[in-house]
A and B are shown apart, each in its own frame.
Chain A
Amino acid sequence: GAGVSQTPSNKVTEKGKYVELRCDPISGHTALYWYRQSLGQGPEFLIYFQGTGAADDSGLPNDRFFAVRPEGSVSTLKIQRTERGDSAVYLCASSLTSGGSTYNEQFFGPGTRLTVL
């Protein structure tokens, strides 16, 4: 079956601009996560959705970052007034949560490479 997909695969923008990054999770996965991976580092957690609600947004670096998942499926990560330090690969992941059990592994998409000039 189809995995997690992310669009665009690459995004180049200028400092100060607004960007949106999209994630399509695996069908039926109720949990969705956003991570950011800088060069030479492991992924860093940004935000976690369970259904439509953001259950944990403790990783968002500041109020320029915002994410939504209005229908409990597709999610959009929004970055306002982009800065050069926002340049990174943004990864989306999804997982199953069944019967309250959250042991399930997260399946990652290929990422969106964001470059802020």
Chain B
Amino acid sequence: AQSVAQPEDQVNVAEGNPLTVKCTYSVSGNPYLFWYVQYPNRGLQFLLKYITGDNLVKGSYGFEAEFNKSQTSFHLKKPSALVSDSALYFCAVREPGFQKLVFGTGTRLLVSP
């Protein structure tokens, strides 16, 4: 069965510094990987996805993620953090042949001014 691990409950970073939010996965076959962001009292918003091709994928709001098959990781990155990036971030995996997303437990990102 597929699973996702987000090892950090919270990540703290100063505004202007680069940020990384970690995600590792377990799935049979080639994974489809997603990052979503959740702001308070709002639904999940799609950031980016990896299906196939280039291991570095770019998404909304300046975020990008790097797929590493050997390490089964899909870390979210941004070169320069903004205070407005503070939110809850979820990594999700979908196994080929299935439609459901399996989510990690989420990582709270706190960007300080």
What residues make up the interface of A, taking CB atoms closer than 8 Å to B? 4, 31, 33, 35, 40-45, 48, 50, 55-56, 58-59, 91, 93, 102-103, 105-111
Out of A41, A102, A108, which one reaches B43, CB within 8 Å? Answer: A108
CB <8 Å contact, B44 and A41:
no
The residue on A at minimum CB distance from B42 is: A110
Interface size class of B (residues with CB under 8 A): 20 to 34
CB <8 Å contact, B99 and A102:
yes
Across-interface contacts of A103 in B (CB, < 8 A): 32, 49, 51
Out of A4, A31, A42, A43, which one reaches B99, CB within 8 Å? Answer: A31
Per the bound structure, the CA–CA distance linking A35 and B105 in Å amounts to 14
Across-interface contacts of A93 in B (CB, < 8 A): 44
The residue on B at minimum CB distance from A46 is: B100
- Min CB distance B42 to A, Å, is 6
Per the bound structure, the CA–CA distance linking A107 and B49 in Å amounts to 13
Across-interface contacts of B105 in A (CB, < 8 A): 40-42
Out of B41, B43, B98, B103, which one reaches A42, CB within 8 Å? Answer: B103
In the assembled complex, B13 has its CB within 8 A of some CB on chain A: no
- Min CB distance A103 to B, Å, is 5
Out of B4, B34, B98, which one reaches A105, CB within 8 Å? Answer: B34
A55/B43 contact (C-beta < 8 A), A42-B90, A43-B90, A105-B34 known: no
Across-interface contacts of B41 in A (CB, < 8 A): 110
Across-interface contacts of B4 in A (CB, < 8 A): 42
The residue on A at minimum CB distance from B36 is: A108
A107/B99 contact (C-beta < 8 A), A42-B104, A42-B105 known: no
Q: Which of B54-113 contact A (CB under 8 A)?
A: 90, 92, 98-106
CB <8 Å contact, A43 and B51:
no
Give the most central of A31, A48, A93, A108: most B CB within 10 Å. Answer: A108
